[in-house]
Structure 1
Amino acid sequence: MDKFETLTGIAAPLPLINIDTDMIIPKQFLKTIKRSGLGVNLFDEMRYNDDGSENENFVLNKPAYRDAEIIVAGDNFGCGSSREHAPWALLDFGIRAVIAPSFADIFYNNCFKNGILPVVLPQEQVDALMKDAENGANARLTVDLESQTVTGADGTTYAFEVDAFKKHCLLNGLDDIGLTQEKAPSIAAFEARMTQERPWV
Protein backbone atom coordinates (compact mmCIF):
# COMPACT_ATOMS: atom_id res chain seq x y z
CA MET A 1 0.00 0.00 0.00
CA ASP A 2 1.29 3.47 -0.88
CA LYS A 3 2.09 5.82 1.97
CA PHE A 4 0.03 8.94 2.49
CA GLU A 5 1.98 11.90 3.81
CA THR A 6 1.12 15.17 2.06
CA LEU A 7 -1.08 15.56 -1.00
CA THR A 8 -1.55 18.73 -3.01
CA GLY A 9 -4.00 18.23 -5.81
CA ILE A 10 -7.15 19.15 -7.66
CA ALA A 11 -10.31 18.69 -5.61
CA ALA A 12 -13.56 17.73 -7.30
CA PRO A 13 -16.74 19.14 -5.72
CA LEU A 14 -19.47 16.56 -5.21
CA PRO A 15 -22.10 18.37 -3.11
CA LEU A 16 -24.39 15.40 -2.55
CA ILE A 17 -25.35 13.79 0.73
CA ASN A 18 -25.67 10.02 1.30
CA ILE A 19 -23.39 8.99 -1.57
CA ASP A 20 -23.59 5.24 -1.07
CA THR A 21 -21.20 2.53 -2.15
CA ASP A 22 -23.51 1.45 -4.99
CA MET A 23 -23.23 4.95 -6.43
CA ILE A 24 -19.45 4.80 -6.02
CA ILE A 25 -19.15 1.41 -7.75
CA PRO A 26 -22.39 -0.30 -8.89
CA LYS A 27 -23.00 -3.93 -7.97
CA GLN A 28 -22.44 -5.30 -11.49
CA PHE A 29 -18.74 -4.47 -11.20
CA LEU A 30 -18.16 -6.45 -7.99
CA LYS A 31 -17.25 -9.72 -9.70
CA THR A 32 -13.52 -9.01 -9.65
CA ILE A 33 -11.25 -9.51 -6.66
CA LYS A 34 -8.55 -7.38 -8.25
CA ARG A 35 -7.99 -3.88 -6.90
CA SER A 36 -7.13 -2.50 -10.32
CA GLY A 37 -9.36 -1.68 -13.27
CA LEU A 38 -12.33 -0.34 -11.34
CA GLY A 39 -11.55 3.34 -11.80
CA VAL A 40 -13.21 3.44 -15.20
CA ASN A 41 -16.50 2.48 -13.53
CA LEU A 42 -16.25 4.87 -10.60
CA PHE A 43 -19.63 6.64 -10.22
CA ASP A 44 -20.68 4.72 -13.33
CA GLU A 45 -24.39 5.57 -13.29
CA MET A 46 -23.76 9.29 -12.90
CA ARG A 47 -20.69 9.39 -15.11
CA TYR A 48 -22.10 7.70 -18.23
CA ASN A 49 -25.25 8.02 -20.31
CA ASP A 50 -27.40 5.01 -21.18
CA ASP A 51 -25.59 4.64 -24.51
CA GLY A 52 -22.21 4.43 -22.76
CA SER A 53 -21.10 7.93 -23.68
CA GLU A 54 -19.79 10.27 -21.01
CA ASN A 55 -22.20 12.55 -19.20
CA GLU A 56 -20.45 15.86 -19.81
CA ASN A 57 -22.22 17.42 -16.83
CA PHE A 58 -20.74 15.03 -14.28
CA VAL A 59 -17.86 16.63 -12.41
CA LEU A 60 -15.18 13.99 -13.08
CA ASN A 61 -15.87 14.20 -16.83
CA LYS A 62 -15.15 17.92 -16.92
CA PRO A 63 -11.65 18.77 -18.19
CA ALA A 64 -10.73 20.64 -14.98
CA TYR A 65 -11.40 17.57 -12.81
CA ARG A 66 -10.23 14.60 -14.87
CA ASP A 67 -7.03 14.49 -12.81
CA ALA A 68 -8.68 15.13 -9.45
CA GLU A 69 -7.02 13.44 -6.47
CA ILE A 70 -9.38 14.78 -3.81
CA ILE A 71 -13.17 14.76 -3.52
CA VAL A 72 -15.07 17.25 -1.38
CA ALA A 73 -18.46 15.73 -0.66
CA GLY A 74 -21.62 15.96 1.41
CA ASP A 75 -22.60 14.25 4.63
CA ASN A 76 -22.61 10.45 5.15
CA PHE A 77 -20.23 9.57 2.31
CA GLY A 78 -19.82 5.83 1.68
CA CYS A 79 -23.05 4.65 3.27
CA GLY A 80 -24.83 1.51 2.09
CA SER A 81 -23.30 -1.93 1.66
CA SER A 82 -19.82 -2.66 2.99
CA ARG A 83 -18.12 -3.32 -0.35
CA GLU A 84 -14.36 -2.79 -0.30
CA HIS A 85 -14.58 -2.28 -4.06
CA ALA A 86 -15.67 1.32 -3.32
CA PRO A 87 -12.27 2.51 -2.07
CA TRP A 88 -10.61 0.31 -4.71
CA ALA A 89 -12.50 2.20 -7.44
CA LEU A 90 -11.67 5.60 -5.95
CA LEU A 91 -7.99 4.72 -5.64
CA ASP A 92 -7.80 3.25 -9.14
CA PHE A 93 -9.22 6.48 -10.54
CA GLY A 94 -6.57 8.43 -8.63
CA ILE A 95 -8.49 9.69 -5.59
CA ARG A 96 -6.29 9.69 -2.47
CA ALA A 97 -8.43 11.79 -0.11
CA VAL A 98 -12.13 12.44 0.49
CA ILE A 99 -13.29 15.37 2.61
CA ALA A 100 -16.80 15.30 4.07
CA PRO A 101 -18.73 16.17 7.25
CA SER A 102 -19.17 12.44 8.01
CA PHE A 103 -18.56 8.96 6.61
CA ALA A 104 -20.18 5.57 7.02
CA ASP A 105 -18.05 3.61 9.51
CA ILE A 106 -17.16 0.58 7.37
CA PHE A 107 -16.27 2.70 4.34
CA TYR A 108 -14.21 5.02 6.57
CA ASN A 109 -12.16 2.12 7.92
CA ASN A 110 -11.78 0.52 4.48
CA CYS A 111 -10.26 3.76 3.18
CA PHE A 112 -7.37 3.56 5.63
CA LYS A 113 -6.73 -0.06 4.66
CA ASN A 114 -6.45 0.93 1.00
CA GLY A 115 -4.32 4.08 1.12
CA ILE A 116 -7.08 6.69 1.06
CA LEU A 117 -7.42 9.39 3.72
CA PRO A 118 -11.02 10.22 4.71
CA VAL A 119 -11.07 13.66 6.34
CA VAL A 120 -13.94 14.68 8.61
CA LEU A 121 -14.50 18.43 8.95
CA PRO A 122 -17.44 20.54 10.18
CA GLN A 123 -20.04 21.40 7.57
CA GLU A 124 -19.07 25.06 7.35
CA GLN A 125 -15.44 24.15 6.65
CA VAL A 126 -16.48 21.59 4.04
CA ASP A 127 -18.65 24.30 2.45
CA ALA A 128 -15.63 26.63 2.23
CA LEU A 129 -13.49 23.91 0.64
CA MET A 130 -16.36 23.06 -1.71
CA LYS A 131 -16.26 26.65 -2.97
CA ASP A 132 -12.51 26.31 -3.49
CA ALA A 133 -13.04 23.07 -5.41
CA GLU A 134 -15.62 24.73 -7.66
CA ASN A 135 -12.83 26.93 -9.04
CA GLY A 136 -11.46 23.93 -10.94
CA ALA A 137 -7.84 23.12 -11.67
CA ASN A 138 -6.75 26.62 -10.67
CA ALA A 139 -7.61 25.89 -7.05
CA ARG A 140 -5.63 23.14 -5.35
CA LEU A 141 -6.05 21.83 -1.83
CA THR A 142 -3.28 20.45 0.35
CA VAL A 143 -4.00 17.58 2.74
CA ASP A 144 -1.21 17.00 5.28
CA LEU A 145 -1.66 13.86 7.36
CA GLU A 146 1.35 14.47 9.59
CA SER A 147 0.08 17.87 10.72
CA GLN A 148 -3.58 16.81 10.34
CA THR A 149 -4.51 19.86 8.31
CA VAL A 150 -6.25 20.75 5.07
CA THR A 151 -5.17 24.00 3.44
CA GLY A 152 -7.52 25.73 1.05
CA ALA A 153 -6.63 27.62 -2.10
CA ASP A 154 -6.58 30.92 -0.19
CA GLY A 155 -4.20 29.57 2.44
CA THR A 156 -6.82 28.99 5.14
CA THR A 157 -5.92 25.92 7.20
CA TYR A 158 -8.41 23.54 8.79
CA ALA A 159 -7.40 20.97 11.42
CA PHE A 160 -8.89 17.49 11.50
CA GLU A 161 -8.77 14.59 13.94
CA VAL A 162 -7.61 11.09 13.08
CA ASP A 163 -7.03 7.97 15.15
CA ALA A 164 -3.33 7.66 16.04
CA PHE A 165 -3.08 4.01 14.94
CA LYS A 166 -4.81 4.65 11.60
CA LYS A 167 -2.54 7.65 11.07
CA HIS A 168 0.56 5.53 11.75
CA CYS A 169 -0.58 2.87 9.29
CA LEU A 170 -1.34 5.34 6.50
CA LEU A 171 1.86 7.35 6.99
CA ASN A 172 3.85 4.13 6.73
CA GLY A 173 1.80 2.44 4.00
CA LEU A 174 0.73 -0.42 6.24
CA ASP A 175 -2.39 -2.43 5.45
CA ASP A 176 -3.34 -5.55 7.45
CA ILE A 177 -0.74 -7.64 5.60
CA GLY A 178 1.91 -4.99 6.11
CA LEU A 179 1.18 -4.89 9.83
CA THR A 180 1.66 -8.65 10.02
CA GLN A 181 4.91 -8.45 8.04
CA GLU A 182 6.22 -5.90 10.54
CA LYS A 183 6.02 -8.69 13.13
CA ALA A 184 7.81 -11.23 10.91
CA PRO A 185 10.98 -11.44 13.08
CA SER A 186 8.89 -12.03 16.23
CA ILE A 187 6.77 -14.64 14.45
CA ALA A 188 9.87 -16.43 13.15
CA ALA A 189 11.47 -16.39 16.62
CA PHE A 190 8.28 -17.80 18.16
CA GLU A 191 8.09 -20.59 15.57
CA ALA A 192 11.75 -21.49 16.12
CA ARG A 193 11.24 -21.61 19.88
CA MET A 194 8.12 -23.75 19.54
CA THR A 195 10.00 -26.14 17.24
CA GLN A 196 12.61 -26.62 19.98
CA GLU A 197 10.16 -26.82 22.87
CA ARG A 198 7.44 -28.86 21.13
CA PRO A 199 9.03 -30.81 18.27
CA TRP A 200 6.01 -33.12 18.14
CA VAL A 201 3.66 -30.33 17.06
Structure 2
Amino acid sequence: SNQSCFFFFFFYLGIPKNFSEIRVRVCIPKTKRKSFELSFSMATTQQPQQQQQGSGGSKPGMRKPVFIKVDQLKPGTSGHTLTVKVVTSNTVLQKKGRNASTSQLIPRGGPTRIAECLVGDETGTILFTARNDQVDLMKLGTTVILRNAKIDMFKGSMRLAVDKWGRIEVTEPAKFVVKEDNNLSLVEYELVNVVEE
Protein backbone atom coordinates (compact mmCIF):
# COMPACT_ATOMS: atom_id res chain seq x y z
CA SER A 1 0.00 0.00 0.00
CA ASN A 2 1.17 3.53 -0.76
CA GLN A 3 -0.19 4.79 2.57
CA SER A 4 1.71 2.53 4.99
CA CYS A 5 3.13 4.03 8.17
CA PHE A 6 5.03 2.40 10.99
CA PHE A 7 5.03 3.72 14.51
CA PHE A 8 7.22 2.41 17.29
CA PHE A 9 6.62 3.36 20.89
CA PHE A 10 9.15 2.73 23.64
CA PHE A 11 8.27 3.21 27.25
CA TYR A 12 10.97 4.00 29.78
CA LEU A 13 9.96 1.24 32.18
CA GLY A 14 10.21 -1.43 29.51
CA ILE A 15 13.72 -0.59 28.34
CA PRO A 16 16.45 -3.05 29.37
CA LYS A 17 19.07 -1.52 31.66
CA ASN A 18 21.96 -2.42 29.37
CA PHE A 19 20.66 -0.27 26.50
CA SER A 20 22.63 2.92 26.06
CA GLU A 21 20.82 4.17 22.95
CA ILE A 22 17.35 3.74 21.50
CA ARG A 23 16.50 4.46 17.90
CA VAL A 24 12.97 5.19 16.76
CA ARG A 25 12.37 5.06 13.03
CA VAL A 26 9.12 6.47 11.65
CA CYS A 27 8.31 6.05 7.96
CA ILE A 28 5.62 8.30 6.53
CA PRO A 29 3.51 7.51 3.40
CA LYS A 30 5.51 6.31 0.36
CA THR A 31 4.05 9.02 -1.83
CA LYS A 32 6.19 11.57 0.02
CA ARG A 33 9.28 9.29 -0.12
CA LYS A 34 10.66 10.61 3.15
CA SER A 35 11.73 9.03 6.37
CA PHE A 36 13.42 10.30 9.47
CA GLU A 37 15.17 8.81 12.44
CA LEU A 38 15.20 9.96 16.04
CA SER A 39 17.89 8.94 18.52
CA PHE A 40 17.57 9.14 22.26
CA SER A 41 20.62 8.53 24.40
CA MET A 42 20.20 7.13 27.85
CA ALA A 43 22.77 7.59 30.58
CA THR A 44 23.89 4.35 32.16
CA THR A 45 24.96 5.66 35.53
CA GLN A 46 24.06 2.63 37.62
CA GLN A 47 26.51 0.22 36.01
CA PRO A 48 29.75 2.05 36.94
CA GLN A 49 28.53 2.35 40.54
CA GLN A 50 27.79 -1.36 40.69
CA GLN A 51 31.19 -2.14 39.21
CA GLN A 52 32.87 0.07 41.81
CA GLN A 53 31.04 -1.67 44.62
CA GLY A 54 31.87 -5.07 43.19
CA SER A 55 35.55 -4.20 42.92
CA GLY A 56 35.78 -3.43 46.63
CA GLY A 57 35.44 0.36 46.28
CA SER A 58 33.41 2.04 48.99
CA LYS A 59 30.79 4.73 48.57
CA PRO A 60 32.03 8.23 49.30
CA GLY A 61 30.91 8.89 52.88
CA MET A 62 29.40 12.03 54.29
CA ARG A 63 31.89 14.76 55.05
CA LYS A 64 32.74 15.14 58.73
CA PRO A 65 31.34 18.38 60.14
CA VAL A 66 33.81 21.04 61.22
CA PHE A 67 32.85 22.37 64.63
CA ILE A 68 33.41 26.07 65.24
CA LYS A 69 33.25 28.30 68.30
CA VAL A 70 30.73 31.07 68.96
CA ASP A 71 33.31 33.85 68.59
CA GLN A 72 33.97 32.71 64.98
CA LEU A 73 30.41 33.51 63.86
CA LYS A 74 30.09 36.37 61.36
CA PRO A 75 27.12 38.19 59.77
CA GLY A 76 25.68 36.63 56.61
CA THR A 77 27.26 33.21 57.14
CA SER A 78 25.67 29.77 57.25
CA GLY A 79 26.46 26.06 57.42
CA HIS A 80 27.80 26.22 60.97
CA THR A 81 28.06 23.27 63.33
CA LEU A 82 28.68 24.09 66.97
CA THR A 83 28.15 22.77 70.49
CA VAL A 84 26.55 25.23 72.91
CA LYS A 85 24.88 25.39 76.30
CA VAL A 86 21.51 27.07 76.82
CA VAL A 87 22.01 29.94 79.30
CA THR A 88 18.52 31.50 79.17
CA SER A 89 15.29 30.84 77.28
CA ASN A 90 12.49 33.42 76.95
CA THR A 91 9.30 32.82 74.99
CA VAL A 92 8.58 35.91 72.88
CA LEU A 93 5.62 34.62 70.85
CA GLN A 94 3.01 31.98 71.53
CA LYS A 95 0.11 32.02 69.10
CA LYS A 96 -2.56 29.36 68.65
CA GLY A 97 -3.25 28.25 65.09
CA ARG A 98 -6.76 29.13 63.90
CA ASN A 99 -8.84 28.38 60.85
CA ALA A 100 -9.56 31.75 59.24
CA SER A 101 -13.00 30.69 57.94
CA THR A 102 -14.38 29.08 61.11
CA SER A 103 -12.13 30.61 63.81
CA GLN A 104 -11.73 27.13 65.28
CA LEU A 105 -8.52 25.73 66.65
CA ILE A 106 -6.55 23.56 64.23
CA PRO A 107 -5.22 20.57 66.20
CA ARG A 108 -3.00 19.37 63.37
CA GLY A 109 -1.22 22.68 62.78
CA GLY A 110 -0.45 23.31 66.42
CA PRO A 111 0.57 26.62 67.96
CA THR A 112 3.27 28.95 66.69
CA ARG A 113 5.99 29.46 69.29
CA ILE A 114 9.15 31.53 69.19
CA ALA A 115 11.72 31.76 71.98
CA GLU A 116 14.92 33.78 72.24
CA CYS A 117 17.58 31.64 73.86
CA LEU A 118 20.98 32.85 74.95
CA VAL A 119 23.43 30.07 74.03
CA GLY A 120 27.18 29.95 74.28
CA ASP A 121 30.48 28.18 74.78
CA GLU A 122 33.82 29.04 76.35
CA THR A 123 34.41 31.82 73.78
CA GLY A 124 31.15 33.79 73.99
CA THR A 125 27.37 33.84 73.70
CA ILE A 126 24.77 34.67 71.05
CA LEU A 127 20.97 34.81 70.89
CA PHE A 128 19.41 31.78 69.23
CA THR A 129 15.90 32.04 67.77
CA ALA A 130 14.04 28.79 68.52
CA ARG A 131 10.83 28.08 66.60
CA ASN A 132 7.98 25.69 67.43
CA ASP A 133 9.35 22.21 68.35
CA GLN A 134 12.83 23.69 68.78
CA VAL A 135 11.58 25.55 71.88
CA ASP A 136 11.13 22.24 73.73
CA LEU A 137 14.75 21.25 73.05
CA MET A 138 16.27 24.55 74.19
CA LYS A 139 15.81 24.10 77.94
CA LEU A 140 17.88 25.95 80.50
CA GLY A 141 21.23 24.21 81.12
CA THR A 142 20.88 21.81 78.19
CA THR A 143 23.85 21.18 75.90
CA VAL A 144 22.91 21.00 72.23
CA ILE A 145 24.64 20.50 68.90
CA LEU A 146 23.41 22.93 66.24
CA ARG A 147 23.94 21.52 62.76
CA ASN A 148 23.84 23.65 59.61
CA ALA A 149 23.05 26.76 61.64
CA LYS A 150 22.94 30.20 60.03
CA ILE A 151 23.25 33.83 61.08
CA ASP A 152 20.19 36.05 60.66
CA MET A 153 20.39 39.80 61.17
CA PHE A 154 17.79 41.48 63.41
CA LYS A 155 17.96 45.26 63.88
CA GLY A 156 21.65 45.23 63.00
CA SER A 157 22.64 42.44 65.39
CA MET A 158 23.34 38.76 64.89
CA ARG A 159 20.90 35.98 65.72
CA LEU A 160 21.69 32.29 65.38
CA ALA A 161 19.00 30.08 63.82
CA VAL A 162 18.43 26.56 62.49
CA ASP A 163 15.92 26.24 59.66
CA LYS A 164 14.42 23.13 58.00
CA TRP A 165 17.80 22.30 56.42
CA GLY A 166 19.49 22.06 59.81
CA ARG A 167 19.08 20.08 63.00
CA ILE A 168 19.25 20.47 66.77
CA GLU A 169 20.53 17.54 68.83
CA VAL A 170 20.50 17.33 72.61
CA THR A 171 23.83 15.87 73.69
CA GLU A 172 25.87 15.04 76.80
CA PRO A 173 26.49 18.01 79.13
CA ALA A 174 29.56 19.92 78.00
CA LYS A 175 32.41 20.51 80.45
CA PHE A 176 33.16 24.07 79.36
CA VAL A 177 32.07 27.17 81.29
CA VAL A 178 30.11 29.62 79.14
CA LYS A 179 31.81 33.00 78.69
CA GLU A 180 28.80 35.23 79.32
CA ASP A 181 30.65 38.56 79.12
CA ASN A 182 31.13 38.28 75.33
CA ASN A 183 27.61 38.49 73.85
CA LEU A 184 27.89 38.70 70.06
CA SER A 185 24.24 39.75 69.77
CA LEU A 186 25.04 43.02 71.57
CA VAL A 187 27.36 44.07 68.74
CA GLU A 188 25.52 46.31 66.27
CA TYR A 189 26.44 46.17 62.59
CA GLU A 190 25.73 48.87 60.04
CA LEU A 191 25.33 48.27 56.32
CA VAL A 192 27.74 50.53 54.46
CA ASN A 193 27.74 51.06 50.70
CA VAL A 194 31.29 50.98 49.36
CA VAL A 195 31.83 53.31 46.40
CA GLU A 196 34.68 52.30 44.11
CA GLU A 197 36.82 55.22 42.98
The answer, yes or no, to whether TM exceeds 0.5 is no
TM-score, length of structure 1 as denominator length: 0.25
| Greater share of residues in strand | 2
Higher gyration radius (CA): 2
